[in-house]
Chains A and B, each alone.
Chain A
Amino acid sequence: MSFQIPIGPQHPALKEPISLRMTVEGEVITDVDMRLGYNHRGMEKLAEEKSWLQNIYVTERICGICSHSHATCYVQGVEKLMELAPPRRGLYIRYLVAELERVHSHLLWLGVAGHEAGFDSFFMYTWRDREIVMDLLEMISGNRVHYAINTLGGVRRDIDEGQKAKILEGVATLRKRSEYYFYIGANEPSFVARIAGVGYLSKESAIALCAVGPVARASGVARDVRKDDPCAVYGELDFEVATADTCDVLGRVVVRVKELLESYKLIEQMVKGLPAGDIAVKAPRKAKPGEVVSRYEAPRGENIHYIKANGTDKPERLKVRAPTLANYPATVEMLRKGFIADIPLIFAAIDPCICCAERTVTLVAAGSGEESVVRMSDLRRQALARHQNAPVKRNAVWPL
């Protein structure tokens, strides 16, 4: 008996909306169909109407988890267009935040993988430790998620000696814990039985389907923009590209944990070798006509922005390709002939970030369907008005 089961758009295994339609026969998947677009926000169109500086904050909001990576990729490109040379201290801080973000993203992913496999203890442990790195990021940038530390020509905040010491201390703790997770992830029998051999993606298909990031690296394709196309500081730092050749979810877990350890190494190098000097230079308002391709290794894989300038203070075109989109064809390939039980694991193993993959903002009034672009000041005024008109709830009695 074969029937279709819908995974999504709303499903407990998915943190964001996407629709996977599985045709299953018993427990075995025979066909997979994927529908995207539930989270399309038209970011690319929006970016054409914002200035170079405003677009940093637009790109930062493409994704919640790898917010820094999109902003960095964009800023890198625009700095090339404007022929700016950011000071080295600024660059070091920028990529220090980038590596801390990678740590937080990978720890988050490890927890999610544990949860999808029904291993909730692993989830609780990794997410507890993720708080350490979130606190470090908050200390550096003032925010836990949208760091907003990038600016054209450098970064917005400096770090001092005390913060440096705290970062080193936090990284030392995290390294110890990550080594333990590496041991658990590769040795806990029920967990390994669950992820070994699941979601097989051969090296040939990984290359043919243009997989990126840890998915490609777990299939033995050593593709890492930090090594292949070293932007700014990565050329001067010592690290290795983590790969695995098991081509399955276990390989993806191993690659991510190894990358964690590499990131700790990078963070330590950057903190210890932080050059003195300014953190930013002043950026012009306009960019000369031109085009640039900016690449950056986000936690999930390669991030590529194509930016075209037309001489005004706004971009002519900003094309964003997030790593998740590149991994979708490979996911369909991995899901075929798998078990229902493997769907969440395989899908989670690409570390999907659906709001990254689908970018686009207009407000639509739910009642009338009327579309309007609302200014921030209007929104603020509306919010204040609503707040003032609302009845006072201070002493309200809540009915049982």
Chain B
Amino acid sequence: MSDIEIVESLKRDLGEKALDLTNPDVRRIFVKIAPPELVPVVTLLRDKYDCAYLATISGVDKGDTFEFLYHFASPVANINLRTEFPKSEPRIASICAVIPGAVLYERELQEMFGVKVEGIPDPRRLVLPDDWPEGQYPLRKDWKHVRPQEVIPGGKS
């Protein structure tokens, strides 16, 4: 399947759901959808477009909104699903039921952006330490962290 065929087919399947559909480069397709459509569209991509392989999920802080990109790869193309939701209501559905391998990426997004991933099977922290304070999300653009004074047991300071 060539890029143009995939784009045409996606247009037919998604219809109105695809808010934006671009093909900026060879084998690179960007689709924008609304957050509620996420799980159905991922299921469609997996079943019809051979996109069972989720490369990763990128989160971008755009000021007032968060943009999440789900990078899927099929043997012929790289389909990037984009979804955007307001910072005031940071929640998104988990896609682990459809793609079990997504769990680590979703855990990372949860702690890095403070987005609640609903329905994630394992919501624990992934990379940040256990004593990391609540409400600190390092990859948000406005994040400024002042490290608390470290107390060494038995030490002088």
Bound together: yes
Contacts A80-B25, A369-B151 known; list 5 others, CB within 8 Å: A229-B27, A292-B25, A293-B80, A316-B60, A364-B150
Taking the closest CB of chain A, its distance from the CB of B17, in whole angstroms, is 21
Q: B120-133 interface mask toward A, CB cutoff 8 Å, 1 = contact, 0 = none?
A: 00000111110000
* A binding-site residues for B, Cβ under 8 Å: 36-37, 40, 42, 44-45, 80, 207-212, 223, 228-229, 290-293, 295, 302, 304, 306, 308, 316-317, 319, 321, 325-326, 328-330, 358, 360, 364, 367-371
Complex contacts, A364 vs chain B, CB 8 Å: 147, 150
B138 contacts chain A at the CB level, 8 A cutoff: yes
> Count the B residues whose beta carbon is within 8 Å of the partner chain — how many?
43
- Is B100 within 8 A of A302, CB to CB? no
Complex contacts, A209 vs chain B, CB 8 Å: 100-101
Contact of A304 among B27, B55, B59 (CB under 8 A): B55
- Is A228 within 8 A of B76, CB to CB? yes
- Is B71 within 8 A of A306, CB to CB? yes
- Is B53 within 8 A of A223, CB to CB? yes
Contact of A368 among B61, B99, B128, B157 (CB under 8 A): B157
**CB within 8 Å: A-B pair count:** 99
Interface residues of B in 124-157 (CB under 8 A from A): 125-129, 138-139, 147-152, 155, 157
Taking the closest CB of chain B, its distance from the CB of A355, in whole angstroms, is 12
- Is B60 within 8 A of A37, CB to CB? no
Task: Given A37-B128, A45-B138, A295-B73, check contact A302 B55 (CB 8 Å).
Answer: yes
Contact of A326 among B55, B61, B155 (CB under 8 A): B55
- Is B52 within 8 A of A208, CB to CB? yes
Taking the closest CB of chain B, its distance from the CB of A78, in whole angstroms, is 14
- Is A321 within 8 A of B100, CB to CB? no
**C-alpha spacing A328/B152, complex, angstroms:** 34
**C-alpha spacing A342/B105, complex, angstroms:** 27
